[in-house]
Amino acid sequence: MSGMTMSEKILARASGTPHVRAGQIVDGYVDLLYMHEMLALAIKPFDEIGVGRIWDPSKCVVTVDHWVPPPNEQIARMHQAIREFCWKYGIERFHDVGDHGIIHQLVVERGYVRPGMLVIGSDSHTNMAGAMGAFAAGIGVTETAAVMATGKLWLKVPETLDVRVDGRLSSRTGAKDVILRVIQTTGDDGASYKAVEFHGGTIHDFPMNERFVLSNMTTEMGAKAGMVPADGTTREYLRELGAESEALDADSDARYLRAYDIDVDGMGPQVACPNNPANVKPVEEVAGTKIDMAFVGSCTNARIQDLRAAAEVLKGEKVAARVRMVVTPASQAIYRQAMKEGLVEVFLDAGATFTSSTCGPCFGGHMGVLAPKEVCISSTNRNYPGRMGSPESQVYLGSPYTVAASALYGQITDPRGA
């Protein structure tokens, strides 16, 4: 019997069997269920199921992140319903406005996700937690209600794509550029129903904040889960948060559906052009495209290292005339750290606006929505039509370096020269 992939190992354990194979359907018992505003919509189906209790409130994490603070009464009512639900059912890890963060960031910066866990979240970018060596997948409202009631869900054990990335990147080039290249290679459905594992020297050398970017955007490959092996870097990251860790990787004789060898030696910044995250070009090919807005934010690229990168470019400079820049940290903890390091001042001096943590502009919700004909360069994850506002607006996706350099010149700009 050949060895197991990371997904097979985790789903075997989570379903209480010694060995599973891709294609098998298992009942997975959930180690961590996390939820944002979609919880408000899951309350009705949860009540209809009628169990009257949550299977294990200590395995649940809740925050609000899509609209924070609430921009209107409808959303305020959602937040109210969430608060009352958490209090009623004893969910202690409820992080309300002020203590909040974009949930994918919040669960990894608080040490809630650990290697080997089966993590389920009420959001498509739950894949991000896979960077901790967990199996992490997103679900919708009805299934969130079902997991709260039963603690389990059916999962087809996925086939796995082995994505090996090797080579030394050019300057001001990082995981965002790598994952855009990977998505270009596989297409935006290249990993549909499948898991992705990242291996190779470039991945091994990436710190956790970069690994999060990779796993995060496996969602844009259609992946069910996107995993980075848990190694010494993972252990060190968790140790600083006071949490235990174990190493986890696939067996050396695990069976993959397909392997991709991606050579990134000397590769520079990449940009995904409208209207598909797989429509990727080297930044040089789109340089000069005029922009109206530059956005650094979202679960994908708004960690402290991302804010540092943007500030490095903007320090002592001004955002171009007729361009506005919005910077939104991925959590309140990152907000505080950015204040401490003087980054907020750099952004304000440059003429950018710096907001409280929210998903806001990334999905066209609030705090930076696009009007018709407007063009935005964004550190976020999707650029389908209407994603950030008007269906006639256009979104280019790039790294925080590329976003900041483009803000300075009012047009898409290679950050290596900025």
Partner 1 sequence: METRFQGRAWLFGDDISTDHIIAGKYLGSMDLKSLAEHAMENVDPQFSKKVRPGDILVAGSNFGCGSSREQAPVALKGVGLSCVIAETFARIFYRNAINIGFPLVECPALRGKVKEGDSISVDMAAGTITLASAERIPFAPLPPNLLDILRAGGLVPKLRQELAARPP
Binding site for partner 1 (CB under 8 A): 25, 37-38, 41, 44-45, 48-51, 66-67, 72, 74-75, 78, 122-124, 126, 138-143, 145-146, 149-150, 154, 188-189, 192-193, 222, 224, 276, 363-365, 369, 382, 384-387, 391
Q: How is residue 25 annotated by DSSP?
A: E
Q: Could you tell me the smallest distance in angstroms from the CB atom of residue 14 to partner 1?
A: 17
For partner 1, give the closer residue by CB, 29 or 409.
Answer: 29
CA distance 172 to 230: 26
**What distance lies between CA 373 and its chain's CA centroid?**
27
For partner 1, give the closer residue by CB, 145 or 343.
Answer: 145
For partner 1, give the closer residue by CB, 184 or 413.
Answer: 184
Backbone angles phi, psi at 135, to 5 degrees: -95, 110
Q: Could you tell me the smallest distance in angstroms from the CB atom of residue 222 to partner 1?
A: 6
- What residue type is assigned to position 12 of the chain? A
For partner 1, give the closer residue by CB, 218 or 301.
Answer: 218
Residues 6+ apart with CB under 8 A from 47: none
Q: Could you tell me the smallest distance in angstroms from the CB atom of residue 270 to partner 1?
A: 19
For partner 1, give the closer residue by CB, 41 or 257.
Answer: 41
Backbone angles phi, psi at 119, to 5 degrees: -110, 130
CA distance 199 to 6: 12
For partner 1, give the closer residue by CB, 122 or 160.
Answer: 122
Q: Could you tell me the smallest distance in angstroms from the CB atom of residue 195 to partner 1?
A: 11
Please name the residue ranges forming H helices in 290-342. Answer: 304-314, 332-340
Q: Could you tell me the smallest distance in angstroms from the CB atom of residue 3 to partner 1?
A: 25
Of the CA atoms within 13 Å of residue 74, those in its CB half-sphere come to: 3
Q: Could you tell me the smallest distance in angstroms from the CB atom of residue 44 to partner 1?
A: 7
For partner 1, give the closer residue by CB, 123 or 249.
Answer: 123
Q: Could you tell me the smallest distance in angstroms from the CB atom of residue 137 to partner 1?
A: 8
- Strand-pairing partners, residue 102, are none
For partner 1, give the closer residue by CB, 37 or 249.
Answer: 37
CA distance 127 to 214: 9
User: Which two three-digit tokens encode residue 394?
Assistant: 């256009």
Per the CB < 8 A criterion, the answer to whether 274 and 396 are in contact is: yes
Compute CA distances 257 → 114, 186, 188, 248, whole Å. 26, 13, 17, 20
- Strand-pairing partners, residue 258, are 161
Q: Could you tell me the smallest distance in angstroms from the CB atom of residue 149 to partner 1?
A: 7
Per the CB < 8 A criterion, the answer to whether 114 and 76 are in contact is: no
